[in-house]
Structure 1
Amino acid sequence: MGMESGRPQAVQLVTVDEGADGQRIDNYLLKVLKGVPKSRIYRILRKGEVRVNKSRVKPEYKLEVGDVVRIPPVRVSDPGEKASAFVSDSLADTLQKAILFEDDRLLIIDKPSGLAVHGGSGVSLGLIEALRKMRPEAKFLELVHRLDRDTSGCVMLAKKRSTLKTLHGLLRGDGVDKRYLALVEGRWSHRKEQVKLPLEKNVLRSGERMVKTTPEGKYALTRYQVVQRFAGATLVEAKPVTGRTHQIRVHCQAAGHPIIGDDKYGKDEVNQRFRERGVQRLFLHAHSLRFELEGEWIEVRAPLSKDLQSFVESES
């Protein structure tokens, strides 16, 4: 598209291909005009500087194959905007080694703990932004689902819009078998095979996002299995049947067994005790995925990271 630093230098007329079919115009522009603030994107839409098939469009307009988009030249006035565009060699190397599965439809990454899936909220570069910069040739790369910043393990990214739609359909039902390993406080009973408690998102005054169990919440179900017992803790395998925000963490807390290292839903004194035993972070890891995509079964496993594995070995 004749862009320098991801920004057009003159008016561009772009014909929409399959890669952007069904995408909202505002999200499309945020991707094409990398580094341009959201406020600027909405301003050029509002002023009619962006046109689709020569007409003004609202931010929620969904693109279709064959649409011709007029993109005006947009400059970034704030030099600080460019700072987030850099992917360090170490992050690029870590992510390259973390690829668990890849074909022309799908990329599955073993996300390290501490890396947000999306940039923002004080984090300049998230998993998706880093991978897009590492794969500039990829016309389409979108997160299929999210993982909390401190949770490690399997994350799926779609390389085609059709794959994204298919996987979203599977996730809405029980079509993706997702399994997590969590170290929880106390002795989890073999008889406690599931937690079925509705969950409601609730934002506190500090702006911190919390989730709580409440009768008015959305239906949520997690199945559990005991894997191994330790002094004062149990390693469980959790299978979230629904996919609510913070579901496993809140269901563990509600069952009376918060996850070790959980600074949001856990107990400070317990977390401190386990820090001394080597658990320095949230002990929650998305360790396997299994699903059928276009007639083919895909099964992926992500081993525990070295720090979590060393705890298991030293305490066994």
Structure 2
Amino acid sequence: MSFSTDTKNELARVIPEKDCCKLAEIAGFLRVTAGFLIAGGGRVRLTMTTDNPAVARHFKGLIRDYFDVDTELDIEKAPAPRKGYSYILTVTDLDDSDSILRETGMLMVKQKMNYISDGIYRDIIRTKCCRKAYMRGIFLGAGTISDPQKGYHLEFVLKSNTLAKDLRHLINTFDDLSVKITRRGDKYIVYMKNFQYIRDTLAIMKAYTKVLELEDVAISKEMRNQATRMTNCDNANMDRTLDASERQRLAIRRIREMDAMGKLTPKLRDLAELRESNPDASLTALGEMMDPPLKKSGVNNRMKRIIEFADKL
């Protein structure tokens, strides 16, 4: 089961406490899943379609609880190229369909003519708790989230540019949240890729288990990245140590070939002979071998003098 499906299954277990939040969540879900069966006389029968059975059960119960309306649940094979099944909720009574559409702000009247609105009905999301519920509803209907092991990406796939802009405005009302809009074919995508934005959005929608999982993944990634940085740093230090050792050995070899070891001071000659017999030792280790022992900085200064001497030969 995908991370996105798990997230929706968790959100489908969240039951809003306030009636206003129940209505807002239903409105968000309807806005992206509603379909209409023409019943004649300009009236329609309302349907809602999802590919998640837990989501279907959730809204069947939520609509019954808020509107006192029972919906029929039908299961159909999902149309190609999708796999699995579609779960279709149908409000069979025309009056009930009309009532639900009007109260959720989808069915409006202009010049005595009914029409289906395109964006988010502002009266539904006046309070912060209702904005949270609306976001949860619209995510359950049209949202997806990537497996955080592969990357951070949360998006809402919408059919209308107006709805996309309204949703962006809604999300941006929350502190430190920001989303972008792009177009994919005939769909409008409201998305975020920032880890903190996605974590906070999941918390706002009350997917608390997924928030913890997301944070666990982020911590694991940071630990792996830190280990990689430390390994790279160690390798770089090792490379620098080996390069320095090679330059020192080449300088000492040149001094030998020029029969100039006797021209070095006793201290420099002792260090050169130590390097010859311990080609892979660090400067610190060479200093500990000397009598008396010498600090790394002292060994480094003497090595520089040996190299300078070799360069002049």
TM-score range, shorter chain: under 0.3
Higher-Rg member (1/2): 2
Kindly indicate which of the two structures has a greater share of residues assigned to helix: 2
What TM-score do you get using the length of structure 1 for normalisation?
0.20
Kindly indicate which of the two structures has a greater share of residues assigned to strand: 1
